[in-house]
């Protein structure tokens, strides 16, 4: 049963993440078909991140009433249904509404998924189970462009959304039908617990750091295919192939950076990762030809190195009781800023003919954030 739980949850998380990012590799085709502008394209990621942020903050209210297993199944089914409706949308307003609803439905998964995973799997195996579960986002970044280009050979972008949405619906129904475990209720969020945490400056520094970290991963990924097609005359297939290849080397990096963090300390590693990532994003904005391809290939390898030391640093902020509260409020805010506002900003600048400037601005912000780790204060010494 533990193995079945890990497989089921990883598959659901994989589809959950695919649905949140699949518009990115499809974006050049969607813009051409619907006659949209880059700023309208960026708005999809803002509304999706807004829905995700709201649902993540409030997911405890749902799981406390409907229990975790039903919440996970509902999240998968509703997310898939909203993606199908997105494919049926023929105007911008309706498409934004369905993308927002898909983001909300997706946001219900993670707290319940982690709760079920850690309850089903023995504590001594949590590390292995979490490692498998966390493969889902990296594999989503890697495989989403491949899936899109393969399916676009046979169908339209709307039919691609139908396929992904249907897969999520079927996965949710299968989970509800075949997954057998003692279900239990989640805990409604206690917003009063935020008050003591808000008095800690390092909490706000970590929220800013995570926003920059998400900007360098999801924020850049969201607009990169459109940037390569519109500004550098690549075909959509060429852009998605390059992005796919750039993600292959990211898979072992969390393990590598985890070892480096233990060896050299969290603060210098975080600062170095942000500085190098910022420089690489800047390089994407100012380069052309072969050098651009080098920056595109190297940037995600460094970007994914942010999260292992960042989560370790976040666990050192405040007391042990505050850690879950810190995560509950930091992650939604980071996804809203880095995964929503940043793509929207790049899209707005792109619409004005300053597409490359958008990447330069984000690169400068990430680079400037490299100084922030040295202002962090941990409650216990780094080991």
Q: Which residue has the higher pLDDT, 376 or 215?
A: 215
Shared domain for 185 and 200, answered yes or no, is no
Under 8 Å between Cβ of 5 and 116: yes
Q: Are residues 158 and 237 in the same domain?
A: no
Residue 83 CA to residue 95 CA, distance in Å, equals 10
Q: What is the pLDDT of residue 113?
A: 83
- Give Cα separations from 1 to 6, 109, 110, 169, 180 (angstroms): 9, 20, 20, 22, 8
pLDDT in tens, 261-280: 888 888 898 999 999 999 99
Domain check: are 178 and 208 in the same one?
Answer: no
Question: pLDDT tens digits for 124-156?
Answer: 776 677 667 777 888 898 899 999 999 999 999
196 and 184 part of one domain: no
Query: How many angstroms separate the Cα of 18 from the Cα of each of 91, 145, 146, 156?
Result: 23, 10, 12, 17
* Model pLDDT, residue 271: 94
Q: Each residue of 96-118: pLDDT tens digit?
A: 999 999 999 998 888 888 778 87
Q: Are residues 119 and 240 in the same domain?
A: no
User: Residues 191, 216, 276, CA angle at the centre, nearest 5°?
Assistant: 125
Q: Tell whether 92 and 221 lie within a shared domain.
A: no
What tens digit of pLDDT does each residue of 282-320 get?
A: 999 998 889 999 999 999 988 988 888 887 787 777 665
Q: For residue 381, what pLDDT is reported?
A: 47
Q: Within this chain, do residues 214 and 180 fall inside the same structural domain, yes or no?
A: no
**Domain limits for position 270:** 192-383
Domain end point (choices 189, 212, 243): 189
- Indicate the residue among 160, 189, 218 that finishes a domain: 189
Q: What is the largest CA-CA distance in the chain?
A: 56
What total number of domains does the chain contain?
A: 2
CATH assignment of the domain containing 201: 1.20.1250.20
288 in the same domain as 168: no
Q: What is the pLDDT of residues 31-83, one digit of tens each?
A: 989 988 888 888 898 999 999 988 888 887 888 888 888 899 999 999 999 99
Tokens of 312: 């370790």
Structure tokens at 43: 């708005």
Among residues 189, 204, 239, the one where a domain terminates is 189
33 & 83 share domain: yes
Where does residue 43 fall: left (phi above 0), alpha (psi -120 to 50 degrees), or beta otherwise?
A: alpha
Instruction: Give 147-193 as a DSSP string.
Output: HHHHHHTTS-HHHHHHHHHHHHHHHHHHHHHH------------GGG
Distance linking the first and last C-alpha atoms of the chain: 35
pLDDT over threshold 80, residue 383: no
pTM: 0.84
Residue identified by tokens 């369905």 is 98
């Amino acid at each position: 049963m533990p193995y079945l739980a890990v497989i089921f949850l990883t598959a659901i998380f994989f589809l959950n993440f695919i649905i949140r990012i699949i518009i990115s590799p499809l974006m050049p085709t969607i813009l051409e078909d619907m006659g949209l502008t880059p700023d309208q394209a960026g708005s999809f990621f803002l509304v999706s991140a807004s829905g995700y942020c709201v649902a993540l903050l409030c997911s405890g209210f749902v799981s406390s009433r409907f229990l975790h297993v039903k919440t996970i199944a509902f999240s998968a089914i509703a997310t898939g249904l909203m993606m199908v409706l997105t494919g049926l949308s023929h105007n911008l307003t309706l498409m934004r509404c369905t993308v927002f609803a898909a983001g909300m439905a997706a946001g219900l998964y993670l707290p319940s998924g982690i709760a079920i995973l850690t309850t089903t799997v023995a504590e001594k195996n949590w590390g292995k189970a979490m490692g498998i579960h966390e493969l889902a986002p990296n594999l989503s970044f890697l495989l989403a462009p491949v899936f899109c280009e393969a399916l676009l050979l046979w169908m339209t972008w709307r039919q691609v959304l139908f396929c992904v949405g249907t897969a999520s619906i079927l996965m949710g129904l299968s989970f509800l039908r075949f997954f057998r475990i003692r279900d239990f209720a989640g805990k409604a969020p206690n917003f009063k617990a935020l008050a003591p945490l808000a008095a800690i400056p390092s909490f706000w520094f970590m929220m800013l750091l995570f926003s920059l970290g998400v900007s360098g991963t999801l924020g850049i990924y969201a607009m990169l295919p459109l940037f390569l097609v519109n500004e550098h005359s690549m075909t959509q297939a060429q852009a998605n192939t390059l992005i796919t290849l750039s993600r292959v080397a990211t898979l072992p990096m969390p393990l590598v950076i985890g070892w480096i963090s233990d060896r050299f300390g969290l603060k210098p590693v975080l600062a170095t990762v942000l500085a190098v990532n910022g420089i690489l994003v800047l390089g994407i904005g100012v380069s052309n030809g072969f050098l651009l391809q080098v920056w595109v290939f190297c940037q995600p390898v460094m970007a994914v190195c942010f999260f292992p030391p960042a989560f370790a640093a976040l666990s050192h902020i405040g007391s042990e009781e505050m850690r879950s509260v810190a995560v509950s409020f930091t992650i939604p805010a980071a996804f809203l800023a880095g995964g929503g506002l940043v793509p929207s900003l790049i899209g707005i600048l792109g619409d004005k003919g300053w597409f490359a400037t958008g990447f330069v601005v984000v690169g400068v912000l990430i680079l400037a954030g490299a100084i922030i780790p040295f202002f962090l204060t941990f409650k216990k010494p780094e080991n």
